[in-house]
Structure 1
């Protein structure tokens, strides 16, 4: 099947991020949520540059022969297309923020000072806050004059993600030279709130950027100088650094070294105020050792991901309707979750249903005198993790607790290391990252003795498994949609023990009948399940495949989906983010439908439903169909056997397939197209899911 079409993964991701921007543009979305979507868009784009653009730059620096091993398209071409797409989106962002969001805030009795001067009362208030609080965090740095720069190796290192002002200054007193002085000054957003609430005026709430309070008080920072120019800039560094030779030496030590190296990583994007004069840009390029391809004109303000912290929802009239997590009413009557799980498999839907049941599972295991062994694999955990605290309590209560901690989870390395050390200090056996792979599985196994019978004898120990599509993170569980399965199915928990055996001693996982475990059998099993649908289609029978993923990039799986479509299999894809499959291509994918859903919650769950001649097989998984997940990570997919749960999942996915409010069809060009309603009443999948679970418990 030569010559099959594939969309570029990075341009596809930018299409997803533009879909986020669409939510900020939608006047039907509550205003506070529109501001939140602006913040999400900005945060997403920041990480994209720090990681993906950094990787592409490294590939572009390779020789042509080396590049083709990693990327089918010249990375320079991709980088140029990225620059064009980002510039277009950024212009849309700025226009939306300036001409739509800020005026809408004013109509809602909220003023966000931007470039306009403070009122007299607020000027005094801002000056007082500046002198009492902000001033202690400022570090002005003189870099030289407009003609002569100081030695670059004597200047402090610019921090990635930090904000700065570039300034040109002229002495008020007569000077021996006409040269302007050049300096830069930090904007301490890492120490102070980016948005400062000022006193209300006639019932109108006012906020000021931290940046502007500093701007209005520069005479205090630079006494004796007249400020000629004050323009903001920001530097992103490439933060996807590679660990050299994971197979030898102390991996944790190498992770710590990697974290330190990020502070000195190469520049990847230098964002600057578009009104900055070219000569000042050129001087900063020299001072900070930048190259022209690092330069990108931004807006007056950078790092607008901070809009997430603008406290709008606390203001009258701007509160966003929330879906209060529902109880899992079938579990509540049980005094012990273990008793509930023994009765049947239990499936939870986050964040629609409360995450407290997962916390309860670990808390019960920590104090239950019959529990003797707990094993968990942690990828990303909350900064104030209740689960980690429960594991610490379990160890102190005499349980044997083993925790695999993935310290290579990007941008969570420091938090994971901190918790690993704290748990280890409490007696938890900690296993750190495996060389060459990341462990992305979200699994736990609890072993428990049977209660004594009347004769004082015990039966076989009972094993309880928890398998999920999402992290053990109670913070993200409130905004990410995920599934969590509690089970004591003998086959699944036995194979779960094999997975933990691999994490402990790297013994290859074999003879799996129930679980799909990457990199051992997950991809192969999915291929065989698609092949079965292809066979059924060729026999003239109904064949159908439904996939819900965050990302679809692996060419082997894409080719198999193309093959299935050409054989007559009905293929429907719910892909939130990257989708390298190109739908709608005649003779290849004209029957494949790709739907992207962006709404209040981040769609994060992964599910595959294979029709199987009317006897559907259903799998949930931690893995997307990306090259990294299928071949270079430890992932776990798990079956849903109970007919009632299969029906439940099919019903909820049907809401997403028929969403006519927040869903978009992804077309052949990767654009997000509005969906025409199928039913008379519009369907909004996330609200429909909540309502269904509320009605059915």
Structure 2
């Protein structure tokens, strides 16, 4: 790796991505309720960032600097300061959009969200009734000061009010009361008056009733607070003992983690902020001033009384003609491999793949890997039915999928009880591959393996909003190697992968050789082109290889949704590299890797991003797209995304999201849907 090669910091790069989300929240061309969703996404993203990434950086800072700083490319103290400065700027913009744009525009459309103003008299009875009948049972008011005070623990991501009180002796006291937004809808619909739709946030319902909670006190002020805690599972030894029990134990401890951010209303007095810092064992780095309201990811729950107005026109998923012609999905796959594009095409075909297998008497065996399971999973229910129907079903369930551990464990136990063979997490590895294989006798009596190779999870819920691809194939090379992967997961038998690119085995070497081939072609004066679409790019070895390709004259176009540590457009290092980013109504989640190869092009798709974790500490599967018609479909998608000048931006050397120029308007997600609809 050359010393001249430099890289963006991964966390500051991620903040650039979240800033792009915020730009959509403030984009007047986006329907109002979609902008509200982007505010919610921004807030949810930032919460996870603090409880995972910032908590990790803070932990590093607390360790002996001499021992660990030498292994890091960036001083964590400098990075943390940069993060906090950038977050502050973004939070100010978030508040401005919400106050000055979103709430006034809601009002223009006859939707009133009470904020600072006093509710109408006609609503007072409804507010008081809701407080006494719904909210009151969840509240635990507590006087913080005085001799009788008890120890209070602030739960992770939960909302609280700190109230400034004056008692009957004219003494100042502080009190705490929880805001039960985790139990109740945050936004309460009030009676419609004169065709105006009114909402009030439960925070303000509680504010309106503080006298009821503290009848013998004078209310001086009321300020919202929230504490983020480190939410990583700290499993010190995955190699001995019962890993499932260790994960269960760590899940129970997740909300007990050390603080990573204490968010408080900036109008709070300095004296109160200092008191809270001492009371809850916080330090200066924890203290982050914010607005009147926190947890704005709850904006997802703000109902649209005018729906479907003020929302995107979500198109109905397309049918796949190559499957619809056949009664059985297996007959369709026997005739030809099938490539599916979600959510543009119906995810029901994936459900059919498993549902039909559960009842088909010719199906003998089903194997699948799960990373994030839907809360109500049709696929898991199909596998349960398959096991009950006498088929051999083997499922690998990753229990270390962050924030989905409990749900995955629930489904694993349910499937196991029905007779499904469950393989749990492998020590030291996460299995992130999205694959399945069904063994069946076809109409000719031949035993055939039907392989499923995906870029996205087996998750019916996220499949409606994540843009992904999946291949159904009976290609013997692909399915034989897929079977080898499952033997490795079951019995740790050493596989031999020649067609598939699999992390832990051949993925880095194969990607490097594919890039090297383009480098050699460029040096020979031939056309050399690489197109890569991924969610995250951090692995310095792969970035360095791309820099080398750029220096050799290879043209490299990249579509990187989120983290991008590669710096594009630097003279002598990355002149030939462009980095695009797409943020639109669907979350771009698929991965694609295209190599021109002097006209004999190769295209791959799969589950692997180019992060250290994906290439070095996980099991990922990347598969070749072999059929020409499928290559053309993926290349059309890539072409549209590289030319998207409505929802696409380009990353510059300062991590700015720069608009894409173009004479004709291209919106890749809409245009790709129309393209797929035109395919016979």
**Does TM, scored on the shorter chain, surpass 0.5?**
yes
User: Of 370, 375, 390, which aligns to 1:398?
Assistant: 390
Contact 1:313–1:320 (CA under 8 A) maintained in structure 2: no
Structure 2 residue aligned with 1:288 = 280
Secondary structure of the structure 2 residue equivalent to 1:546 = strand
Answering whether residue 670 of structure 2 is matched by residue 687 of structure 1, we say yes
Contact 2:32–2:311 (CA under 8 A) maintained in structure 1: no
Structure 1 residue aligned with 2:471 = 485
- Counterpart CA distance in 2 for 1:38 and 1:394 is 42
- Counterpart CA distance in 1 for 2:67 and 2:319 is 54
Secondary structure of the structure 2 residue equivalent to 1:349 = strand
Structure 2 residue aligned with 1:602 = 587
Give the aligned CA root-mean-square deviation in angstroms.
1.2
Structure 2 residue aligned with 1:578 = 563
- Counterpart CA distance in 1 for 2:616 and 2:71 is 15
Alpha-carbon offset, residue 110 of structure 1: 0.6
Deviation digits for residues 655-690 of structure 1 (CA, Å, limit 9, x no counterpart) = 00111111101001111001111xx32000000001
User: Of 644, 651, 660, which aligns to 1:666?
Assistant: 651
Answering whether residue 614 of structure 2 is matched by residue 629 of structure 1, we say yes
- Counterpart CA distance in 2 for 1:58 and 1:263 is 17
- Counterpart CA distance in 2 for 1:40 and 1:617 is 36
The alpha-carbon distance between structure 1 residues 272 and 181, as it changes in their structure 2 partners (threshold 3 A), is same
Structure 2 residue aligned with 1:86 = 87
Answering whether residue 130 of structure 2 is matched by residue 138 of structure 1, we say no
Alpha-carbon offset, residue 435 of structure 1: 0.2
Deviation digits for residues 404-462 of structure 1 (CA, Å, limit 9, x no counterpart) = 000000000000000011111111111100000100000001011244x6xxxx43x11
Answering whether residue 490 of structure 2 is matched by residue 504 of structure 1, we say yes
Moved more, 545-554 or 66-75: 66-75
Structure 1 residue aligned with 2:155 = 159
- Counterpart CA distance in 2 for 1:235 and 1:117 is 29
Contact 2:187–2:201 (CA under 8 A) maintained in structure 1: yes
Moved more, 186-195 or 305-314: 305-314
- Counterpart CA distance in 1 for 2:599 and 2:148 is 74
- Counterpart CA distance in 2 for 1:10 and 1:436 is 24
Alpha-carbon offset, residue 466 of structure 1: 0.3
Deviation digits for residues 220-269 of structure 1 (CA, Å, limit 9, x no counterpart) = 22222222221100010011132111000100111011111212110110
- Counterpart CA distance in 1 for 2:270 and 2:603 is 59
Aligned ranges 1:402-441 → 2 under 5 Å: 402-441=394-433
Secondary structure of the structure 2 residue equivalent to 1:323 = coil
- Counterpart CA distance in 1 for 2:344 and 2:308 is 26
Answering whether residue 517 of structure 2 is matched by residue 535 of structure 1, we say no
Contact 1:6–1:581 (CA under 8 A) maintained in structure 2: yes
Contact 2:233–2:247 (CA under 8 A) maintained in structure 1: no
Aligned ranges 1:442-457 → 2 under 5 Å: 442-451=434-443
- Counterpart CA distance in 2 for 1:429 and 1:449 is 22
Aligned ranges 1:212-611 → 2 under 5 Å: 212-312=204-304, 314-315=306-307, 317-451=309-443, 458-459=445-446, 461-510=447-496, 512-611=497-596
Structure 2 residue aligned with 1:203 = 195
Deviation digits for residues 300-357 of structure 1 (CA, Å, limit 9, x no counterpart) = 0000001011112654732431121111122111111111111121100001001000
- Counterpart CA distance in 1 for 2:158 and 2:4 is 45
Secondary structure of the structure 1 residue equivalent to 2:322 = coil
Secondary structure of the structure 1 residue equivalent to 2:542 = helix
- Counterpart CA distance in 2 for 1:566 and 1:190 is 53
Alpha-carbon offset, residue 483 of structure 1: 0.4
- Counterpart CA distance in 1 for 2:309 and 2:603 is 43
Secondary structure of the structure 2 residue equivalent to 1:330 = helix
- Counterpart CA distance in 2 for 1:2 and 1:313 is 58
The alpha-carbon distance between structure 1 residues 586 and 624, as it changes in their structure 2 partners (threshold 3 A), is same
- Counterpart CA distance in 2 for 1:257 and 1:314 is 45
Deviation digits for residues 465-516 of structure 1 (CA, Å, limit 9, x no counterpart) = 0010000000000000000100010000000001111111222322x12101
- Counterpart CA distance in 2 for 1:642 and 1:35 is 41
Structure 2 residue aligned with 1:24 = 25
Structure 2 residue aligned with 1:619 = 604
Alpha-carbon offset, residue 70 of structure 1: 4.5
- Counterpart CA distance in 1 for 2:596 and 2:308 is 50
Number of aligned residues = 679
The alpha-carbon distance between structure 1 residues 70 and 369, as it changes in their structure 2 partners (threshold 3 A), is farther
Structure 2 residue aligned with 1:61 = 62
- Counterpart CA distance in 2 for 1:370 and 1:317 is 48
Give the gaps of 5 or more residues in structure 2.
none
- Counterpart CA distance in 2 for 1:205 and 1:70 is 57
Alpha-carbon offset, residue 600 of structure 1: 0.5
Contact 1:480–1:604 (CA under 8 A) maintained in structure 2: yes
- Counterpart CA distance in 2 for 1:250 and 1:314 is 52
Contact 2:42–2:297 (CA under 8 A) maintained in structure 1: yes
Secondary structure of the structure 2 residue equivalent to 1:384 = coil
Deviation digits for residues 621-641 of structure 1 (CA, Å, limit 9, x no counterpart) = 101000000000000000010
Give the gaps of 5 or more residues in structure 1.
none
Contact 1:149–1:287 (CA under 8 A) maintained in structure 2: no
Deviation digits for residues 136-168 of structure 1 (CA, Å, limit 9, x no counterpart) = 1111122214xx784xxx424211011000012
- Counterpart CA distance in 2 for 1:2 and 1:224 is 69
Contact 2:366–2:392 (CA under 8 A) maintained in structure 1: yes
The alpha-carbon distance between structure 1 residues 604 and 313, as it changes in their structure 2 partners (threshold 3 A), is farther
